Amino acid sequence: MIHVGIDLHSRNMTLVAINDNGKLLVEEKLTTTLLTSANSSGALPIPCRPW
């Protein structure tokens, strides 16, 4: 199983995926402007906003 975590802040976020053994599979650092853009365009199924 793959576990995904999101650390969301007002200007950036970190997305991490690990496996059951705790091995880091993916770590991405993104700006929240991507989240804001996706939300305002209706691409997200629920409203989201950074604090």
Residue 19 is assigned to a structural domain of this protein: yes
pLDDT of residue 45: 53
Residue 22, phi-psi category: left (phi > 0), alpha (psi -120 to 50), beta (remainder)? left
**What are the residue ranges in the chain where pLDDT is below 70?**
34-51
Helix (H, G, I), strand (E, B) or coil at 3: strand
Burial tier of 18 (Cβ tally within 10 Å: 0-12, 13-18, 19+): middle
Residue 35 is assigned to a structural domain of this protein: yes
pLDDT of residue 33: 75
pLDDT of residue 11: 83
Residue 45 is assigned to a structural domain of this protein: no
- Please give the residue range of the domain that contains residue 21: 2-40
Burial tier of 28 (Cβ tally within 10 Å: 0-12, 13-18, 19+): exposed
Residue 51 is assigned to a structural domain of this protein: no
The residue length of the chain stands at 51
